[in-house]
Amino acid sequence: MEAIQYGLGPVGSQIARLGLRRGLRYVGAVDTDPAKVGRDMGEVIGLDEKLGVAVTADPAELLAKTGKATVIHATGSSLRAVLPQLIDLLKAGCSIVSTCEELSYPYKTHPEEAAVLDETARKHGGRVLGTGVNPGFVMDILPLCLSTAVQELSALRVERVVDAAKRRLPLQKKVGAGLSPEEFRAGVGEGWIRHVGLPESVHMIAAGLGWPLDRVEETIEPVISRERLTSGHVPVEPGMVAGIHQVARGFVNGSGERITLDLTMAVDAPGADRVIIDGVPPLTLEVRGGVHGDLGTASVVINAVHGLNKLEPGLHTMLDLMRTHFGPLSRI
């Protein structure tokens, strides 16, 4: 399959290396970084060999040459920011798998952007899907899959703990590692300390289960370290912030909180993923040590390509690839 890598930062480069190993034939690469434009994609993503594909800052020019392709898109978390990029790709008939967290389930949080994407994709025969390890797998698709095995479902809780020391530097910055509690709160207020995507996962789960949500609430608190932590990129002193504890809750009219996504990303936190279904029967699933964030995101993105290409043109979410879950019979 002919593919284009759009975005060659650390995540995009890792996905591209995996895509190559797994059989994608790259015919183009897009990045706006002047230090990358014009160079061979193989060099830029850290391979020892050239691929014969020059990085370009001009996707329109590239698409005029290649025609429609499968695009692996990894440029940002904000759907509003990446929307023009996605629209141009869809107008060329491309099928896009994107790491954009807000694209993972945009119908509730970004309904206008979702409508434009769906309409453009259908019109030009393209497809677009946002995914990754979280949102996109551990805190939405995996619990939905497990829900297949329950007769009744009262509440669904997912706990994910990520050891930020094992992640790349931008992740450690995003969770506030090394900051004072005051700096952390300021960062939360300014919006740059936050994991993006928990509300999208709550909405995806609710849609799958057929639960109409009243509201989704999200809280962000610092994880304060009691000791000096030196395993991350920056040292964390006692009393300072080791990371983030972020919780999103979905409330169903008349029955209160029924979806809880509890995420901790902190230096030296012991990695773990746990899905707890309060149902008949009750079920608890654990992934030992948790799914690694960076490795997992590249996996989920590349593994979504074969499924997406079997779907009709349009905007899709991982829910379109995961149709086995506890679900409402009354609406059929």
Q: Tell me whether the omega of the peptide bond preceding residue 135 falls within 30 degrees of 0, making it cis.
A: yes
Closest separation in Å from C-beta 143 to a copy of itself = 10
Among positions 15-44, residues that touch a copy of itself (CB under 8 A) are 18-19, 21-24
Nearest CB to a copy of itself, comparing residues 23 and 189: 23
228: nearest Cα among 220, 218, 219, 239 = 239
Nearest CB to a copy of itself, comparing residues 77 and 299: 299
Q: Tell me whether the omega of the peptide bond preceding residue 34 falls within 30 degrees of 0, making it cis.
A: no
Q: How far is CA 307 from the centre of its chain?
A: 17
Q: Say whether residue 280 binds a copy of itself (CB under 8 A).
A: yes
Q: Say whether residue 310 binds a copy of itself (CB under 8 A).
A: yes
Query: How many residues make contact with a copy of itself (CB under 8 A)?
Result: 57
Q: Say whether residue 212 binds a copy of itself (CB under 8 A).
A: no
Q: Say whether residue 67 binds a copy of itself (CB under 8 A).
A: no
Q: Exactly one of 141, 196, 216, 265 binds a copy of itself (CB under 8 A); which one?
A: 141
For 213-238, b/e burial (b = at least 16 CB within 10 A) is beebeeebebbbbeeebeebbeebee
165 neighbors 223 (Cβ within 8 angstroms): no
Q: How many CB atoms lie within 10 A of CB 313?
A: 18
Q: Would you give the DSSP letter of residue 166?
A: G
Q: Amino acid identity, residue 310? A: K
Nearest CB to a copy of itself, comparing residues 205 and 216: 205
Tokens 């509300």 sit on residue = 199
Closest separation in Å from C-beta 190 to a copy of itself = 32
Closest separation in Å from C-beta 97 to a copy of itself = 11
Among positions 147-206, residues that touch a copy of itself (CB under 8 A) are 147-152
Distance CA 104, CA 242 (A): 27
Applying CB under 8 A, which part among 31-39, 83-91, 118-126, 317-325 lies near a copy of itself? 317-325
Give strand ranges (E) for 131-178.
152-163
Q: Say whether residue 84 binds a copy of itself (CB under 8 A).
A: no
Q: Say whether residue 284 binds a copy of itself (CB under 8 A).
A: yes
Nearest CB to a copy of itself, comparing residues 240 and 315: 315
Distance CA 78, CA 129 (A): 14
Q: Say whether residue 255 binds a copy of itself (CB under 8 A).
A: no
Q: Amino acid identity, residue 212? A: P
Which residues form the interface with a copy of itself (CB under 8 A)? 1, 18-19, 21-24, 133, 137-138, 141-142, 145-152, 280-281, 283-288, 291-292, 295-296, 298-300, 302-307, 309-310, 318, 320-332
